[in-house]
Structure 1
Amino acid sequence: MKILHVINTTHMGGTEMMLLKLISTLDRMRYEPVVATLVAVGPVGESLRRLGVPVHCFGMRRGIPDPRVIWSLVRLVRQERPDLIQTWLHHSDLLGGLAGRLAGKVPVVWNLRNSDLQAGMNKRMTSLTAGLCARLSGWLPTRIICGSEASRAVHSAMGYAAERLVTIPNGFDIEAFQPDSAAGPSLRQELGIPASAPLIGLVARFDPQKGHDTFLAAASRLHQECPDVHFILCGDDITWENQALAAPIEQNGLRGHCHLLGRRSDMPRIQASMNIASLTSTSEGFPNVLGEAMASGVPCVATDVGDAALIVGETGRIVPPRDPEALALAWGELIGLTAEAQATLGAAARARVVEHFRLTAVVARYADLYDTVAFGPGASARGEPPLVAGSPAAAGPGKAASDIRENSL
C-alpha cells in the first residue's frame, strides 16, 4: 500500500515526531510512504530522507493556505498514485483533503492534534481553517484520527463528524526510553551537580504555551525549601543567550541551580537522569515528553492539559496550569518520598506506558485503520494481518530511526 503523508512542515515537534516514528516502525515492505510538506523541510524531513523516504516540499508561506498548493498536491497525487492520503494538522487536512478529491477521490484520513482552539491560543488562520474543516468533515475525509481524547472532545464540539472520529494516541519506544541507572550520575558529573542532588527537569522548546514562567516561579519556591535541588531545562532556544529565559532565572537567584541544555540528541539519557519530569504547559494534546519520561521510569508532575492526566494516571501528580505554588508543592511531595517509594512510582509509570502506549501497538492501530480505509472492513494489504517493523513476522526494511531520539519539543 502506498501512503502519501501531507504535513505542514517537518521541523521538530510532537506531530512531526509521531510521523517519523510511524513511518520508521511500519513494515516498509507493506506500507510505502511518500511525504509532502507544505512549508519547509526541517530536521524530521531530513531524517525521513535518510530512511529513503521521498520528501516533497511546496514552499508555502507559514500559516497562510495557498490555493495554488492544492494543484501541486493534485499533480503529486496523480504522479504517485497512492492508495491513501494521510494528512496531519488543520492546514494539511484542508489542502490534502481537497487534493484527494480533485485527483480522483483518493481516500483521505485526517489527523487532528490540537486540543485547545480558543482565541488567543492559536493563530486566527488556524482557527478559521479548523472551522472550515469542521464543515467539510462529513465529506472530505473517510476517517479522522484524533491524537488525544481531549482533541476528540474539542473537535466533536466544533461540529466535526463524530461518526468519523477515532482516537489513536502517540506511542513510545520502550526500548529507546527505559530506566538507566548510569544516566543520573553521568549527567550530574557533566553539569557539575552534586551526586546526591535531586534533579527536576523540563523538556520543552521556549514557547509561551510551554509555561517556562510557571516552572521558574515554582523552582524559586522550592529552592527556598530545598536548596539542594537542581533544575535542568532543554529544548529549542533553551540557552543562556535567550534573555527572556535567562533574566528570570537570574532574578530568582537560580543561576547556580538551573542548567540550560538547548536541544539534545541524547534524550533517553536526559529523561532517565531525572528524579522528577515536569510538564508546565497551558495547552497540549498528547504530550510526548510525559510518555518518554515515564517509559524511563521517572515519575511526572504535569499540568492538567490535554490528555496529561490520562497518561500519568496514578503514577505522578497533576496540578492546575499557571499555578507555581501547586507545582512546587507536588515536586516537594515527590522529593520527600523515600528512595524505595520513588522507585515504585517510577516502575508503575513505565508499566503504564508499556501497557497502554507502546509504540508498536499504536502503529498497529494505524495499520489496521489504513487497511480498512483502503481495502474495506476486515481487509489488509495483501490479505495478511498488518505488520509493524520489529514484529516476529516482519522482514521488511522498516526500522526505528536512531534520530527519533532527538528532543522533540
Structure 2
Amino acid sequence: MTKKVVHIITGLNDGGAEGVLARLCLHSKKVQHVVISLLDEGKYGLLLAQSGVTVHCLGMNPGKPSIFRLFRLIRLIRAEQPDAVQTWMYHADLLGGIAARLAGVHRVFWGIRMSSLERGKSSRLTLWIARLCALLSRWVPEKIICCANKALSVHSALGYQSDKLVMIPNGYDLSRFKGDPEMGNSVRRGLGLGSGVFVMGMVGRFDPLKDHFNLLDALAKVAETEIDFRCLLVGKGLEPDNAALTARIADLGLQDKMQLVGQRPDIPAIMNALDLHVLSSCSEGFPNVIAEAMACGIPCISTNVGDALDILGDERTICPAKDTTALAELIIVMADEWKRNPAAWEVRKNVSTQRIKERYSIDSMVSAYESCWFGKGNIGSQLCAD
C-alpha cells in the first residue's frame, strides 16, 4: 500500500523551502504527497496541482491567527489520513505540528531552514515561535530535519531536542540545472551583454538578509580597477522601481554596471548567462543558488553563511559576512583568473559541476526523506530511524 505524506507549509511563494518542497513532491514516486498551504497557492501551488499533487490552501491571515482555521486544518489532516506529516519552517512547525498531533498523527516531522536567529535579523514573532518550538520539540516531532549542518548546531544550542535533529541537504534536478552555453548566450543577447564582458550575478529576493548593499559597496571598489564587468540582480523586488536600491546604485556611480532583472522563471538560463555567481548574504541556511549555479558549471563565491562553504568546498572562494573589502578582493581575483587563465577557469567550471553531481542530486535527497519518514537510513552522520 502506498504511503501518504501531508506537507504543511506557511505559503507556496518563491523561496528556498518552497522550492525544495516542490522538488521533493515531484520526484518522490514511492509516496503519495498532499500539500497544505496555510496561506495561498503562491508560485508552486498550481505547478504541484498540475502534476497531480493535491494542494489545499487555508487562506490564513498571518497577522491574525484564527482558531476556526486551526480547527479546519485539524479536520483536513484527519480527512487525509496521512501516514506522516512533514512541516516546513517555524510557523508551520508550530501550527501544523500541533494540529497533526490533535488529528491523531503520531509521525510528525519538522523542517528547519534557517541557520541563524538573531535580534534585528529575524522578527520578534519568529524568535518567539522558534523558542516555543524548542520547548515543544520534546513532544511534537518524531524527527527534526535541518537543511544544513549550521542549522542543526544552532537549533541544538537553542534547546531543540538534540537527539531528534537530523540533516538532509537539498537536492537539485540536474536535468534542469546543467551547463547550456547557448541558453546562456540567448539571455545575454536579450539583456544586451557582449561576450567580452565579465558578467556577475546574484539570484535572490531583495531582503536585508541577502545584504545587496554589501555587494554594491564591494562592486564600487571593483569598479575602481580596470575590470570591465556587469552585474545582474535577479529576484523579487530587484526591479528598477526599487527606490532604495536605485538610489544606492546612483550614489556609488554604478548605473552603467548594474542591471536590475527582477523575478524570472528561467533561472537555469540566467545561471548559464553568468561568468560568476556572487552571494553577499549575512544569513543563510543552505543557499540553493550556489548549488544551482555550480550545477550549471558557473563558479561561485560567497560570504561565510550557513552551509555555503560545505557546498563550495574551497575556502579560497569564501569571505566573512559584511566584509565589503574581502568580498571585493574575491571578485577581483576571480575576474583576473577568468581573463588571464582560461584553462584554469575551465577546470574551475568542471569541478563545480562535478561537486554538485556527487553530493547534491535530487535522488539522494528524496531517498533520505523517504528513509527518514518510513525506514532506516544513514543521513550524513545522523541516523533517521523508525
TM-score normalized with structure 1 length: 0.88
Rounded to whole Å, the distance in 2 between the matches of 1:102 and 1:187 is 50
Structure 1 position 358 matched with structure 2 position 361 = yes
Residues 130 and 362 of structure 1: is their aligned pair in 2 closer, same or farther, counting only changes over 3 Å? same
Shift of the alpha carbon at 1:226?
3.0
Q: Aligned partner of 1:187: which letter?
A: V
Structure 2 counterpart of 1:346, from 345, 349, 361: 349
Q: Aligned partner of 1:25: which letter?
A: H
Counterparts of residues 107-256 of structure 1 (less than 5 Å): 107-256=107-256
Please tell me whether the aligned partners of residues 89 and 113 of structure 1 are also in contact (alpha carbons under 8 angstroms).
Answer: yes
The residue that corresponds to 1:69 in the other structure is 69
Rounded to whole Å, the distance in 2 between the matches of 1:363 and 1:131 is 29
Please tell me whether the aligned partners of residues 144 and 164 of structure 1 are also in contact (alpha carbons under 8 angstroms).
Answer: yes
Please tell me whether the aligned partners of residues 300 and 312 of structure 1 are also in contact (alpha carbons under 8 angstroms).
Answer: yes
The residue that corresponds to 2:20 in the other structure is 18
For residues 286-307 of structure 1, give each alpha carbon's deviation from its aligned partner in whole angstroms, at most 9, with x where no partner exists. 0110000010111111011111
- In terms of mean alpha carbon deviation, does 341-350 or 306-315 score higher? 306-315
Rounded to whole Å, the distance in 2 between the matches of 1:77 and 1:265 is 32
Please tell me whether the aligned partners of residues 234 and 262 of structure 1 are also in contact (alpha carbons under 8 angstroms).
Answer: yes
Shift of the alpha carbon at 1:52?
2.1
The residue that corresponds to 1:383 in the other structure is none
Rounded to whole Å, the distance in 2 between the matches of 1:206 and 1:218 is 17
Please tell me whether the aligned partners of residues 8 and 38 of structure 1 are also in contact (alpha carbons under 8 angstroms).
Answer: yes
Shift of the alpha carbon at 1:312?
0.6
Aligned residues: 372
Structure 1 position 79 matched with structure 2 position 79 = yes
Shift of the alpha carbon at 1:68?
3.8
The residue that corresponds to 2:10 in the other structure is 8
Residues 252 and 351 of structure 1: is their aligned pair in 2 closer, same or farther, counting only changes over 3 Å? same
Rounded to whole Å, the distance in 1 between the matches of 2:71 and 2:336 is 60
SS state at 2:223 partner:
helix
Shift of the alpha carbon at 1:26?
0.5
Rounded to whole Å, the distance in 2 between the matches of 1:223 and 1:205 is 24
Higher relative contact order (CA 8 A, sep 6+): 1
Shift of the alpha carbon at 1:246?
1.2
Q: Aligned partner of 1:365: which letter?
A: A
Rounded to whole Å, the distance in 2 between the matches of 1:100 and 1:158 is 24
- In terms of mean alpha carbon deviation, does 181-190 or 220-229 score higher? 181-190
Rounded to whole Å, the distance in 1 between the matches of 2:90 and 2:181 is 42
Residues 331 and 182 of structure 1: is their aligned pair in 2 closer, same or farther, counting only changes over 3 Å? same
SS state at 1:96 partner:
helix
SS state at 1:220 partner:
helix
SS state at 1:278 partner:
strand
- In terms of mean alpha carbon deviation, does 174-183 or 4-13 score higher? 174-183
Rounded to whole Å, the distance in 1 between the matches of 2:209 and 2:183 is 29
Rounded to whole Å, the distance in 1 between the matches of 2:103 and 2:185 is 56
SS state at 1:336 partner:
helix
TM-score normalized with structure 2 length: 0.93
The residue that corresponds to 1:34 in the other structure is 34
**What is the Cα-based RMSD across aligned positions, in Å?**
1.5
* Unmatched tracts of structure 1, length 5 or more: 379-409
* Unmatched tracts of structure 2, length 5 or more: 378-386
Instruction: Give aligned-pair identity as a percent.
Output: 39
The residue that corresponds to 2:53 in the other structure is 53
SS state at 1:306 partner:
coil
For residues 347-388 of structure 1, give each alpha carbon's deviation from its aligned partner in whole angstroms, at most 9, with x where no partner exists. 11111111111111111111111212xxxx58xxxxxxxxxx
